[in-house]
A and B are shown apart, each in its own frame.
Chain A
């Protein structure tokens, strides 16, 4: 029983990191048929945002009393940072490539290379300045009335907002680099996020210790999933997103602005990558390549779960997580110690984290022989094309 609980908890913990990382990917893939290879790098940005938030809370005097709650602030910041970069990516690159998913794959890979090198060679203070400039530049037109924007002086106003945002960005960069000396130099080294005191240690329950960071990650995942489900099911834009996912040309005919839907979806998907980045930063050190460790797991979730179905994504993440724990930690051997020897040696051979991935991939390929389009395939005539 104890063993079962422990195994289940570990599996759910692994699965929830996968789930929060794959959630954004799955939504975007379902809507646009686009695989975003830069998703891992958006996670990386989220993880770096956590690091920067933590440093700011540590260094700035009036924020210091609230140091313990920086993780919660970081979730919001990471969402905004990754979301902003994601929207920029959609506006500049991806929207030119609709209808050619393979080209998008390559272009987003190019973006991921640039982002990786960017955090290596640009001081983090100025990088955050740039993100702030982009954030205000992209979003400030939303708060200006349409008449002004499309009027005679529309271009001037736009130029003015961008100039203002740029100034704001430069100012942020300057202030940050003078306040926090660690952010003022570029460094390719990995950085560490230290968990606040209330998150260290674990909770004892029926003789098992549950680490608090893992519990927090499960909580973050749970909240993200609930918010996404609420957003997709209950809000007007959520319903529009689902409509476009099901049938893009028809939704367009019915007056849904598919362009806006794309922006919103991509922004949310990227923002969720940022939230996943916060979770990842709590588990290990943060470096330019941190996203790469998780991205293939996310792809497997998307392939296994099927397109455009949240339930599939959830089930796929947890089953991959539990399988990873069962195989990788060699739990099958503990559960059934006296199994026949050829089977024993086979399972023993796969009982490491990396070999567990090999096994899981093989299992997924076998699964796809029976259900080629995942657990919950999309139905309808449009599927073939």
Chain B
């Protein structure tokens, strides 16, 4: 069947064309400040995709994605700092001088290379996620225990990064906006525009990658683990392998996301590893729709946009709104907004407020405008 043969493909094609046109046009339409915000939120969509893979599809609620997010950010920030540290004493970033460090700590040495950095941004978080995940999954620790352990791990990393001034500038974090890349300031307008485009493209690539992962048998096993892990094990699959793989993929996603977010927000600091931020990531997915990859992206972008709009207008009320959103989504909309729409929620709502006619067939079949049942 050709791509253009059905009506649905045409709709798809139009949507894609629209999305691409919007991405290309956004920098000339939006003011610089808003463009930067949108770029950041798009990069957050990547970490949300990872959360959707491990929570929506595999049923593991990780409250520690901030670890991998921040690790990616630190990799990118250190590369930028190292490559624009020429004018500082000893040729190392300025902050080292404040703590009397004269020689670059050995583990930062390879980050002078751009290729190593580009690889380590996703590989390093993925390896750490895989290692931590393996230790936990091997013992069949799951459910709430897994969530608590990831949260504890997050706090441990936070404490570690917060306390190590001499290695990573501790609580101040690493700044990127005044560093140089390709002879340009990273914080400059033109660089930010490029970062926006890179984020948008990477979101789309990550979405395709995630879809490719969950489409085939691998995805089926993930869903099987979510719904009944014991049966998957009895059928002869080893859940540990699949869980470790998907957890490290999500870690890699988080790393990429963190790096993009860092270069666009101008700083990486242990604040990326605070507990609320990691839980927020889960909420974007919960609101958008668990197990619907698109929902994760839309959730991340829209909730963050709403957050910035509400915080600008009424700073105190965002916590109430966010808390209420948590409770509302979990109790009333467990499928998330997108899942709810896909399950015919919109028509049910219209029916409730009396606009739409209730279908008379059961189970409800599709009815066209004349009220005739389609085959």
Q: A residues engaging B (CB < 8 A)?
A: 29, 33-35, 93, 96-97, 101-107, 109-114, 116-117, 120-121, 292, 296, 299-300, 302-303, 352, 354-355, 357-358, 361-362, 364-365, 368-369, 372, 384-385
Contact = CB atoms under 8 A, between A and B. Distances in A.
B320 A111 contact: no
Given A35-B148, A113-B326, 18 more contacts: A101-B143, A104-B330, A106-B329, A109-B279, A109-B326, A111-B323, A113-B319, A114-B323, A296-B275, A303-B152, A354-B160, A358-B156, A361-B153, A365-B135, A368-B136, A368-B141, A372-B139, A372-B140
Contacts of A97: 330-331
B323 A110 contact: yes
B152 A296 contact: yes
| Shortest Cβ-Cβ A-B pairs, 3 listed | A110-B326, A372-B139, A113-B323
B162 interface: yes
Nearest to B158: A354
A93 B135 contact: no
Contacts of A96: 331
A87 B320 CA distance: 20
Interface of B: 55, 59, 61, 63, 135-136, 138-141, 143-145, 147-149, 151-153, 155-156, 159-160, 162-163, 230, 275-276, 279, 282-283, 286, 316, 319-320, 322-327, 329-331, 334
B320 A114 contact: yes
A113 to B, nearest CB: 4
A365 B151 CA distance: 13
A369 B139 contact: yes
B322 A120 contact: no
Nearest to B159: A354
B327 A107 contact: yes
Contacts of A120: 316
A121 B316 contact: yes
A279 B312 CA distance: 38
B326 A107 contact: yes
Contact of B323 (A117, A357, A362): A117
A361 B327 contact: no
Given A97-B331, A102-B61, A110-B327, A384 B159 contact: no
A97 B275 CA distance: 23
19 contacts: A33-B144, A93-B331, A101-B144, A102-B143, A102-B144, A105-B63, A106-B330, A110-B327, A111-B326, A112-B323, A117-B316, A296-B152, A296-B155, A354-B160, A355-B160, A357-B155, A357-B156, A365-B136, A384-B230
A142 B324 CA distance: 30
Contact of A110 (B135, B230, B322, B334): B322
Given A105-B147, A114-B324, A372-B139, A354 B163 contact: yes
- Most chain B beta-carbon neighbours within 10 Å: one of A109, A121, A362: A109
A352 B163 contact: yes
Contacts of A385: 230
Q: Which of B162, B327, B334 has the most CB of A within 10 A?
A: B327
Contacts of A292: 275
B316 A102 contact: no
Given A102-B61, A107-B330, A354-B159, A300 B152 contact: yes
Which residue among B283, B316, B320, B326 has the maximum number of chain A CB atoms within 10 Å of its CB?
B326
A224 B149 CA distance: 27
Contacts of A362: 156
Contacts of B63: 105
Given A35-B147, A105-B61, A300-B152, A355 B331 contact: no
B316 A106 contact: no
Given A114-B324, A357-B155, A299 B331 contact: no
Contacts of A112: 323
A113 B322 contact: yes
A358 B63 CA distance: 17
B156 A106 contact: no
A296 B326 CA distance: 21
A350 B149 CA distance: 21
Contacts of A117: 316, 319-320, 323
B163 A355 contact: yes
Contacts of A106: 61, 279, 282-283, 286, 326, 329-330
Nearest to A113: B323
Contacts of A358: 156, 159-160
A103 B330 contact: yes
Contact of A303 (B149, B279, B283, B330): B149
